[in-house]
Chain A
C-alpha cells in the first residue's frame, strides 16, 4: 500500500513537495524503477546468454552469468538444422508481415476515409456493419474462417496466411476516427483545384497523414510478425511455417537443443527490437492513439 501512495504522489505531480523529503522520495522512485527494469530485461538477457552458450553451459551445476566463449557457430548450426526450415520460416514471416501491413493499410485507410468523409445515403448502415465485427473477436472466428479458407484450397499457402487477416474492422474504425479529425480546409482546397475524392485522397490527405499511417503500419507489422494461432492453423506443412510456428515446433519437439532454440528465439525477436528502437516515436504515438479509442 505504501508503494501505491508513493506513486500517487507521482501522478500528483507533487512539485510542491520538494526539499529533503522530495530527494528521498525520488531516490526511492528511481530504486523502484531500477528493480522493475532489471526484472523486465531479464528475459532478454536469458535469450542472449543461452543463444550464445553451449548446452553444457546452460545446464551447468552453477549458474553461468554469461558465456566466456561466445558460440557464434550456433547461428550456422541453426540454419543448417534439417529438422526445422528456419530460414524459410523467416522469409515467410517477412513476406507475410509486409503484405499484411501493406494490404491492411490500403484497404482499411480507404474504407475509413470513405466512412468519415464521403456523404452517401447508406454510409451509416455500412458503418454499423463494420462496427458489428468489433463485437466478435477475430480469434473466436478462426474455426469458421478455417473452414472457408480450406474449402477455397488456401491451406498452407501465402494467400491463406495473408488475405483473411486484411479486413480488420478495428483498423478501419481507427482510420475513420482519424479522418474525422483531419482538417477539412486542406481537402476543400484540393477539391477547388479540380481533384475528385480519389485524387484529393492520394495527393492531399495521405501525404498529410504519414505520421498516422506510420504508427498504424508499425503496429500492424508487429501484430503480423507475432501472430500465432492463424499461422498455426493454416501452416500445415513445414514450407508454409512462419517464424512463430517454427519456434513453437521446438517447444513440442522430441529432442531439445537448448542453444539452438534460444538462437532461434533471438533471431526471431531481433528484427522487431530494431523496429522498436528505430521507430519508437511513431509506435508510442500509435499505441496512445489506437488504444484509447479502442
Chain B
C-alpha cells in the first residue's frame, strides 16, 4: 500500500503506518470485511466441509465420505455433459459477442452525425434482464409455431416453420440461446471498446498514413487491434466468466428440456431440486470454481492479462 509521500509540514505527523491509523482503517473497512468473511468466505469453507460428507437435505451432516462426492461428480455423465454444454456455448457466445461488440464500436466510432442515437440503440438492451429477453425469444421470436417472428419471416421466404426449442436435433436451440446473449451483452462491451478507441492517439494513424499504410485492414491490423489489446483481453475474460455463470436464459428457455443444461442449471437442480443434495452440489460447485480459476489463470498466461494495465 502506498504511503503518503507528502504531509503538511510542521504538524508533527509521521507518514509511518502506525497504530494511530488502525482505528480509522477498521472503521472504514471493518463492516465490509466482516460481511465478506460471513457471506463469502464462510460459505466457501462450509461447502468445502459439506463436500466431504453425505449431506442430503441437511447442512450438518455426520457421514464422512472423503473425496467420494468429487469422484461421483466427475464420473456423473450429466455433470460432465453440462461442462461440454458450457464449452459449446462459450465457443459460440464468446467470439461472436466479442466480434459484434467490436464491430459496433468501430462503426459508431467512425461516424459523427447521430452517433449518440446509434450508441443508445445498441446499448439499450443492457437494460433488459435475461428473463425478459428469454421471454421475448421464447414466446415471440423463436416460439416454434407459425405466428412467431422467425417463422413468419421464414414463411415470407417460402420456407417451413422450425421448432426452435422443442427438439435437440437439429440443435436450433443454440441459435436461440446464443442470440439472447448477443443481444443483451454486445452493447455493454461496445461501450468498453468505444472508450478504448477514443484513447488511441491520433498520431499513430497519421504516422502510419505517412508510412504509406492504407486505411482499412492494414491500419486495423497493425494499429487499432494492438492498441486495443488490454481492453480485448479484459473483454474476453469477462465474457468467459459470464459464460461459465450462464443460468438465466437456459433456465427460462429450456426449463423442461433434458438437453442444453449448463453447469449452474445442473447444480441448481441437484442442490435445490428434489434431493437437496448439498454434499454433491457443493462438490460440483467447487469443481466448477476450480475450473474457472484455472481458465482465468491460463488465459492470463496466454494473453498476458494485466501486463500493461496492472496498477
Determine the residue in chain A with the shortest Cβ distance to B231. A292
Determine the residue in chain B with the shortest Cβ distance to A32. B107
Determine the residue in chain A with the shortest Cβ distance to B2. A180
Of B42-50, B66-74, B89-97, B166-174, the segment with at least 4 beta carbons within 8 Å of chain A is: B42-50
Report yes or no: B111 in contact with A30, Cβ–Cβ below 8 A: yes
Contact of B191 among A47, A126, A291 (CB under 8 A): A291
A121-B20 Cα distance, complex, nearest whole Å: 11
Contact of B40 among A133, A150, A180, A283 (CB under 8 A): A133
Return chain B residues, CB-CB under 8 Å to A268.
129, 132
Does A209 reach chain B (CB closer than 8 Å)? no
Q: How many residues of B contact A (CB 8 A)?
A: 125
Does A42 reach chain B (CB closer than 8 Å)? yes
Of A69-77, A79-87, A245-253, the segment with at least 4 beta carbons within 8 Å of chain B is: A245-253
Determine the residue in chain A with the shortest Cβ distance to B115. A33
Does B8 reach chain A (CB closer than 8 Å)? yes
Contact of A135 among B196, B217, B293 (CB under 8 A): B293
Beyond A33-B108, A228-B131, whether A8 also contacts B271 by CB under 8 A is no
A251-B180 Cα distance, complex, nearest whole Å: 16
Report yes or no: B220 in contact with A13, Cβ–Cβ below 8 A: no
Does A186 reach chain B (CB closer than 8 Å)? no
Tell me the chain B residues, 253-270 only, with Cβ under 8 Å from chain A: 255-256, 264, 267-268
Report yes or no: A287 in contact with B188, Cβ–Cβ below 8 A: yes
A229-B42 Cα distance, complex, nearest whole Å: 20
Report yes or no: A10 in contact with B285, Cβ–Cβ below 8 A: no
Report yes or no: B141 in contact with A120, Cβ–Cβ below 8 A: no
Contact with B along A129-168 (1 / 0, CB 8 A): 1100101110111111111101100000000000110110
Beyond A8-B219, A111-B33, A228-B129, whether A140 also contacts B285 by CB under 8 A is yes
Report yes or no: A118 in contact with B28, Cβ–Cβ below 8 A: yes
Report yes or no: A292 in contact with B196, Cβ–Cβ below 8 A: yes
A177-B128 Cα distance, complex, nearest whole Å: 28
Return chain B residues, CB-CB under 8 Å to A191.
8
Q: How many residues of A contact B (CB 8 A)?
A: 117
Tell me the chain B residues, 88-146 only, with Cβ under 8 Å from chain A: 103-104, 106-111, 118-141, 145-146
Secondary structure at the B interface, as helix, strand, loop or mixed, is: helix
Contact of A140 among B251, B278, B288 (CB under 8 A): B288
* B186–chain A nearest beta-carbon distance, Å: 8
Does A203 reach chain B (CB closer than 8 Å)? no
Determine the residue in chain B with the shortest Cβ distance to A272. B127
Determine the residue in chain A with the shortest Cβ distance to B7. A188
Report yes or no: A167 in contact with B40, Cβ–Cβ below 8 A: yes
Beyond A123-B17, A141-B43, whether A36 also contacts B136 by CB under 8 A is no
Contact of B292 among A33, A40, A63, A140 (CB under 8 A): A140
Contact with A along B2-23 (1 / 0, CB 8 A): 1110111001000111100110
Report yes or no: B29 in contact with A111, Cβ–Cβ below 8 A: yes
Determine the residue in chain B with the shortest Cβ distance to A169. B36
Report yes or no: A33 in contact with B107, Cβ–Cβ below 8 A: yes
Does B304 reach chain A (CB closer than 8 Å)? no
Return chain A residues, CB-CB under 8 Å to B38.
148
Contact of A7 among B50, B110, B264 (CB under 8 A): B110
Report yes or no: B31 in contact with A141, Cβ–Cβ below 8 A: no
Return chain A residues, CB-CB under 8 Å to B40.
133, 136, 141, 167, 169
Beyond A17-B215, A192-B8, whether A111 also contacts B285 by CB under 8 A is no
Determine the residue in chain A with the shortest Cβ distance to B129. A226
Tell me the chain B residues, 201-228 only, with Cβ under 8 Å from chain A: 202, 205, 209, 215-217, 219-221, 223-224
Does A196 reach chain B (CB closer than 8 Å)? yes
Does A258 reach chain B (CB closer than 8 Å)? yes
Report yes or no: A292 in contact with B32, Cβ–Cβ below 8 A: no
A262-B125 Cα distance, complex, nearest whole Å: 16
Report yes or no: A163 in contact with B39, Cβ–Cβ below 8 A: yes
Report yes or no: B39 in contact with A248, Cβ–Cβ below 8 A: no
Report yes or no: A247 in contact with B44, Cβ–Cβ below 8 A: no
Does B234 reach chain A (CB closer than 8 Å)? yes
Does B27 reach chain A (CB closer than 8 Å)? yes
Report yes or no: A118 in contact with B24, Cβ–Cβ below 8 A: yes
Most B CB within 10 A of own CB, among A16, A143, A280: A143
Report yes or no: B238 in contact with A294, Cβ–Cβ below 8 A: yes
Does B75 reach chain A (CB closer than 8 Å)? no
Tell me the chain A residues, 172-193 only, with Cβ under 8 Å from chain B: 172, 177, 180, 184, 188, 191-192
If A11-B220, A177-B311, A269-B132 are given as contacts, then 20 extra A-B residue pairs at C-beta distance below 8 Å, sorted by A number, are: A5-B217, A9-B219, A11-B110, A30-B111, A43-B133, A111-B32, A118-B21, A119-B15, A123-B25, A133-B36, A133-B40, A136-B289, A140-B288, A144-B50, A148-B38, A166-B39, A188-B7, A197-B28, A222-B126, A288-B195
10 pairs of residues in contact across A and B, judged by CB atoms under 8 Å: A12-B224, A29-B110, A30-B111, A114-B27, A139-B245, A146-B272, A247-B135, A258-B139, A265-B136, A269-B129
Q: Point out residues on A near B: beta carbons under 8 Å.
A: 3-14, 16-17, 26, 29-30, 32-33, 36-37, 40-44, 46-47, 50, 58-61, 63, 107-108, 110-111, 113-115, 118-121, 123-124, 126-127, 129-130, 133, 135-137, 139-148, 150-151, 163-164, 166-167, 169, 172, 177, 180, 184, 188, 191-192, 196-198, 201, 222, 225-226, 228-229, 232-233, 244, 247-248, 250-252, 256, 258, 261-262, 265, 268-269, 272-273, 275-277, 280, 283-284, 287-288, 291-294
The 3 closest A-B pairs by CB, nearest first: A8-B220, A114-B28, A10-B110
